[in-house]
Structures are given as structure tokens and as C-alpha cells.
Homo-oligomer: A and B are copies of this chain.
Amino acid sequence: MTDEIKQRKLEHITVALEEGIGVSQRAGWGDIHLVHQALPEIDLQEVDTTATFLGRRLACPVVISALTGGHPEAMTINRNLARAAERYGLALGVGSQRAALVNPDLVPTYAVVRDEAPQAFVIANIGAPQLIDQERHPAFTLSQVEQAIAMIQADALAIHMNALQEATQVEGDRRMRGVATALRRLTAEVTVPVIAKETGAGVCREQALLLRSCGVAAIDVGGAGGSSMSALEAARARSHGATQAQQIGQLYRDWGIPTPIALVEAGIAGLPLIATGGVRSGLDVARAIALGATLVGMGFPFLKAASESYERVCELLEQTLTELKIAMQLSGAADLASLRQVDVVVTGETRAWLSLRGFEEELRALANRRV
């Protein structure tokens, strides 16, 4: 199994970099309009992007999403990401640590993150389906989970909820019954705060409440509209000649709740939210925060940059930060708390969905916060 996982990790990276794995459906960020302030009364240079997440201050609200590990190629990527996270004061995740739990030789491909980023907020990563017994392997024990945390001296643990990916992955883990119970037990026992993290299909209202009841400290709403794990598996299936799996992966490419919608839906749980999925600029970061996110995750853009060089990651970050600051200045928000109080006009499909789901009043309030 070791080699299988290792091989899959490599394929995930190469496929993601070589194929279009974004969903064809519009992410919906274009439906989110910040209202321009002609005289913003804020100096661009003094815009303050510091965020507080789970009690820690971060220099900016961008998270480098969980992406990789478990393969020598991944080590360079993780090193580049971690160096940048350290320099810019970001939070960052590692990819699923199963590979290293199964094969200790792979530990350094994850541990490199802490080596390079001693001060950063680092997030361990374990799959929700692996919290229970699966057909092909038993549930992780608490001690294994603790091992994953220790491996990178993590500040928090992300439990990624990827039922869609497992379902469309040829060798995927198809069981999900009992995960909530296992998660509830885990949050009670584990030493760091737990983040429940979707990987591209979004978290709705009811699931946000369920996750809160399971004791998670934060939710990454991981919505549709960015990298699609289903499209990723479709591309892998095609490269293996598995036509049917490829078609199923393609069909489910559009499945899921777009990130901005998930953000509003999950908001009712009152937990800190990370908005991930299709965020492609500092302007999108600003939109997500104005809709209520505490942090904003980006995956693919960082993967691409880090596969080139550390410098590219820094460039991407600087550009993103500049874009975020411009959005903040022009919206009249000197800091992130103010950004959560600016007027936001939501239109298009995003509005149609939310209105039908009972959020029409909330949308009106969002559009008229300054009145």
C-alpha cells in the first residue's frame, strides 16, 4: 500500500499541474461585489491585514492549503511553501499524512515544513474517512493521529472531508458511516484544535451545525469552483485508461456548493471559517472576508508557484497581499474587522441559491451594513 499511496501522491501533483482541474461551473466570486468608496480615508500603506485565528495572530489572512507530502518531489514543494509561510507570517497546511504514517521513510517530506517554518501556524492533515475502519485498512488510532501532529509540531489538525474524492477515486475509501462519532471522539482527545476541512464540495448549513456539535474549532468550507478533486481523479483515471471512472469523475466535477454560498450557509454555526476553493486573487480574499471568513485558503495557485521556485511563491504572495490591500482601501476597510462590516452586494446564481435557502434577509443586511 505504501508504494500505492506514494505513487498516487506524485500523480496528484503532476496531474494537477498538467491538466485543467478547475470546475467549469463558475466559482461565483464574481457575484460578490464590494462597494467602492470614492474617498476611502485610508492610506494604502497603513492597511492592516493581521488576522487572529484560534488565538494566534497571523500577519495576513491567507492560508496555504493542504497540498502535498509523501513523495520526494513533494519535499521541494513543501520546502518552498514553508519558507514563504515563515517569511510572510502565514498559516499553512500539509497534504494528507497517511503516506508517512504508513511509511516512516516519508516523514521528512512533511517535517520539512516545520524545519523551514519554525514560527508558522502549521496544520496537520488526516482524512475523515480514515477515522473509521475501511475495507482495505483499519481506522487510525489516536496515537497515529498524535504522531501526525507531532511529525510537524502542528498547531492544529485538519480533518479533511473528501467523500466526493473517495467516491470517484478508483481505489477510494467508500465508507463514511461513523465518521461523525469518530470525529467527536477525536476532538475530545486530541491535543490541538481540530479544523473540519472540505476539499471542494462545500459545507452547508446543516453540516456546519453537525460539525460544531462534533467539537471542531473551525471549519474550512472548501467549496466548489476551484480545484476539483473529482476532476483530478478523472484525469488520473484517464491516464490509467479507466474510461468509466474518468466519466464519473467528469460528471461530478461540478458537484458541490460554491465557496461563497458555503461561506454564508456555514456562517450560522458561529465558528471561525476558512474560505477555500477557487480563490484566485487578493480581491477574492477580500470578498471572502467581507462575507465572514476568518482566513482564506488557496491551493492550486500555491502548488503551481512552489513547483517552480521559492521566489515564485513569494511573488504570488506579494501580489495577493497588494491586491487584498487595494480591495480593503477602496472598500474603506483599514483592517480585517472593518472589512467584515462593509457593504457587499451579492447577485446572480449565488443570490438565487441563498435566497431560496432562507438567506434573503441576510443578503439585504449584507448589502446595507453601512445604513
Contacts and interface: CB of A to CB of B under 8 A. Distances in A.
A226 interface: no
A12 interface: no
11 contacts: A36-B201, A36-B257, A37-B207, A38-B161, A39-B163, A42-B177, A44-B174, A167-B330, A248-B322, A345-B353, A356-B363
Interface string A175-188: 11111100100000
A353 to B, nearest CB: 5
A292 interface: no
A363 B357 CA distance: 10
Kindly name the residue among A174, A330, A345, A356 whose own CB sees the greatest number of chain B CB atoms within 10 A. A356
Q: Give the copy number.
A: 4
A71 to B, nearest CB: 27
A71 B163 CA distance: 47
A330 B164 contact: yes
Interface string A351-367: 11100111000011001
Contacts of A211: 38-39
A229 to B, nearest CB: 12
Contacts of A105: none
A192 to B, nearest CB: 20
Interface in A148-201: 161, 163-164, 166-168, 174-180, 183, 196, 198, 201
Given A347-B349, A356-B347, A204 B37 contact: yes
B41 A178 contact: yes
B349 A36 contact: no
A183 B44 contact: no
Nearest to A166: B44
A329 interface: yes
Interface of A: 33, 35-46, 128, 161, 163-164, 166-168, 174-180, 183, 196, 198, 201-204, 206-207, 210-211, 224, 244, 247-248, 251-252, 255-257, 281, 283, 315, 318-319, 322-323, 326, 329-330, 343, 345-349, 351-353, 356-358, 363-364, 367-368, 370-371
Given A167-B329, A206-B370, A319-B247, A183 B352 contact: no
Contact of A244 (B33, B198, B319): B319
Contacts of A210: 39
A142 to B, nearest CB: 19
Contacts of A281: 251
Contacts of A168: 326
Contacts of A179: 39, 41
A347 B358 contact: no
Given A42-B176, A204-B343, 9 more contacts: A37-B206, A38-B198, A41-B178, A44-B167, A206-B343, A248-B322, A255-B330, A345-B353, A356-B363
